[in-house]
Amino acid sequence: MIIAACFAFMATSAIAQTSSAGTKSGATKQTAKYYCPKCHAASDKTGTCAHCNAKLVKEGDYYCPGCGASSAKAGKCTACNKDMVKMTSKKA
Ligand SMILES: [Zn+2]
Ligand SMILES: [Zn+2]
């Protein structure tokens, strides 16, 4: 009497969340770029931003949009529990 079509939905619901494969490839000697997490000023060396004195984040690393903390991997900020954002050359 009852058509069990809904079973099909449940069978395919368990899709594992894929985190981007973190294989380190291309360890070439390229000049790393650094960006300010606050004003996105670019620099070719690490240090602090000339404008707002925030610690510069290396391109490809992650930073906290809340407090500007940086990390080499994604996750939550240890200081304020925000999601870390990947630093790219483009302003988000
Ligand atoms: Zn800045
Ligand atoms: Zn933070």
Residue (of 88, 83, 74) closest to 20 by Cα position? 74
C-alpha of residue 83 to centroid of ligand 2, in Å: 8
**The pLDDT of residue 17:** 46
Q: Tens digit of pLDDT for each residue in 41-79? A: 999 999 999 999 999 999 999 999 988 889 999 999 999
Neighbouring CB atoms inside 10 A of 41's CB total 14
What pTM was estimated for this model as a whole? 0.62
**The pLDDT of residue 26:** 54
**The pLDDT of residue 73:** 93
CA distances from 59 to 4, 48, 63, 78 (A): 51, 14, 10, 20
C-alpha of residue 10 to centroid of ligand 2, in Å: 38
C-alpha of residue 30 to centroid of ligand 2, in Å: 29
Nearest ligand atom owner, CA of 56:
1
Nearest ligand atom owner, CA of 68:
2
